[in-house]
Amino acid sequence: MLLLASAADSHTQEIKGREILGLRAGGIWTTGGLSDAFGSGGEIEIHFIMGIGDWYGVEFAVSSHSLGQSKDSGKNIRFIGNERGIDLLIYSGTVGMKAIKRVGGDFSASAEAGLGLYVANAIISLGTWSEGNIWDNHFGCCMGAGLIYRINDKLSLDLTGKYHYIFSGDEMFETLYFYSGEKSNELYQISLGINILTG
């Protein structure tokens, strides 16, 4: 963000007093034990930015990160006591700062950082028409950078990479710690989306 702030005023995107509503979709990757148990998946995010200064604002984002089904049937049995499939979804709600600076022509660079709540949802298949759910809440933080291509005064394309750090704790029967064996877990997201600029 500091690098973007040091850019010349002539490159300012000028988002002060304006709102940006965006939708992104893409892929998500994990590391360590969580990667061994689930691997990668897909994600979708809705975000809202309120412009405070010419080049920065506050961003609120809500995301759903789907890691799919567990690849470790032995752990599944130890986790729920019988042989059932486990799907893992991680929902996140974050708030932080967003900086946007034009870097040339219709292109702008962005940077963001924030704090959030991460909700792990283990979905247990119980039968054809039913399923069970286990919910765990964790705090975390995120940071990211991206490239924005301006289509017109109201619309732009947004390519963003984001890093999530989740404080998983060490409670054995909370989903993230049980499957990863680690007190913290990391998610890497790359997504493409569209922004609508108002005001």
Question: SS3 helix, strand, coil % of the chain, rounded to 5?
Answer: 15, 60, 25
Q: What is the pLDDT at residue 70?
A: 94
∠ CA 124-117-186 to the nearest 5 degrees? 75
Mean pLDDT on 46-61: 96
126 three-class SS: coil
Question: Is 70 exceeded by the pLDDT of residue 12?
Answer: no
Summarised one tens digit per residue, pLDDT across range 78-104 is 988 888 889 999 999 999 999 999 999
Domains present along the chain, CATH in parentheses: 2-198 (2.40.160.20)
Summarised one tens digit per residue, pLDDT across range 128-156 is 666 899 999 999 999 999 999 999 989 99
Question: Is 80 exceeded by the pLDDT of residue 183?
Answer: yes
Q: What is the pLDDT at residue 49?
A: 97
Mean pLDDT on 15-37: 95
pTM of the model: 0.89
Nearest residue to 4 (alpha-carbon basis) of 78, 83, 109: 109
pLDDT band at 68 (very low <50, low <70, confident <90, very high): very high
Most confident of 67-76, 91-100, 122-131: 91-100
Of 5 and 150, which is predicted with more confidence? 150
Determine the length of the chain: 199
14 three-class SS: coil
pLDDT band at 173 (very low <50, low <70, confident <90, very high): confident
